[in-house]
Amino acid sequence: MNNTESPNIKPLLSVKNLKKHFVTKKNFFGHPKEYAYSLNGISFDINKGETLGLVGESGCGKTTAGRTIMGIYKPTDGEVYLHGERLDLTKGPEKRIQMIFQDPYACLNPRMTVGEIIGEPLEINHVYEDKKAKQNRIYELLELVGLSKEQANRFPHEFSGGQRQRIGIARALAVNPDIIICDEPISALDVSIQAQVVNLMRRLQKELGLTYLFIAHDLAMVKYISDRVAVMYMGEIMELAEAEALYANPMHPYTKSLLAAIPVPDPDVHQDISIIKGEIGAADVVGCPFALRCSQASDRCFKEKPVIKDVEGHKIACHLL
């Protein structure tokens, strides 16, 4: 895995000032009147073969980021580059970017067999002219994720949650994508199954040279699978650093509060989460979006939006540093 950024290495994926605003109310004439600001200009790079973890509490814009990068949502502003080529996301999903969805029960068509589900991307993208070659590819993908070719004619309801997610992984791999966006792929699974699925993803990454954007709220799992981690809050990236450095020495107040909230199996350990207060405020704040909840916020934090800067290998948006 490549877990460092270097000016000599061209990123596989580059996201630059990406924004996504959803219309929540229209006026009498049908024109947009109010918006929900889901992404407020996020930027990051992902190198080939690495995993970038994207974390934050519910509603911070993680899933929207993944779906906008892929082209499921049309971006309001900003650019996404793949191999240095700017993607036209207004045309719809980009086939070189695939997604593993959060809910293994809702993302598989119950009326299609497993073979048809995995073969659908091959059919849509006209990958194989020969039916036998296509069938062999489906069998290969099933075996790759720990299932058998004999299961190709079964329907999704005949599988467990963990097996369904394996089917979702096989479908994402079908067209040999350049990057896979993993949208909380284990959050709907039993704890005993989560490790199996994540270990499968790590094995496939090693064997196939895969690149992941791993979206999750389970901070312990993100540390386990990720090379670097980006922390999001209210549609913006607060901190981005190598996983080990971020967990060992968090710098942004929001990152500190997130890590302090991880349960520790020791009743004698006191976890201080006093740095965070209140609830999520309005999305159209002038200054730092975390200022309303930060116990260390100054007047400047409420009046001026912090810019991303490098501090000891961390990229941080905070006036305090």
Q: How confident is the model over 256-271, as a mean pLDDT?
A: 72
Q: Give dist(CA 244, CA 224) in Å, integer.
A: 10
Lowest mean pLDDT among 184-198, 242-256, 266-280: 266-280
CA distance 53 to 207: 20
Task: Return the structure tokens found at 16.
Answer: 């630059």
For 40, 172, 238, the CA distances from 80, given in Å and listed in that order, are 15, 20, 20
pLDDT 10s digits, 211-224: 999 999 888 889 99
Tell whether the model's pLDDT for residue 283 goes beyond 60: no
Q: How far apart are CA 62 and CA 39, in angstroms?
A: 9
Q: What is the pLDDT of residue 4?
A: 46
pLDDT-derived band at 296 (thresholds 50, 70, 90) equals: confident
pLDDT for 276: 63
Buried b (16+ CB within 10 A) or exposed e, 252-278: bbbbbbbbeeeeeeeeeeeeeeeebee
- CA distance to 65, 232, 295, per residue, from 257 (Å): 22, 13, 11
- 113 pLDDT exceeds 50? yes
Contact 222, 215 (CB under 8 A): no
What pLDDT does residue 260 have? 82
CATH classification code of 13-246: 3.40.50.300
79 has pLDDT over 60: yes
Does 169 have pLDDT greater than 50? yes
Which range among 184-188, 242-246, 261-265 shows the weakest confidence by mean pLDDT?
261-265
* R_g (Cα) of the chain, nearest Å: 21
| Average pLDDT across the chain, whole number | 88
pLDDT value of residue 269: 60
Sketch the domain layout of the chain as residue ranges: 13-246
pLDDT over 80 at 247, yes or no: yes
Please choose, from the candidates 147, 174, 182, the residue with its C-alpha nearest in 3D space to the C-alpha of residue 162. 147
pLDDT for 226:
96
The amino acid at residue 155 is F
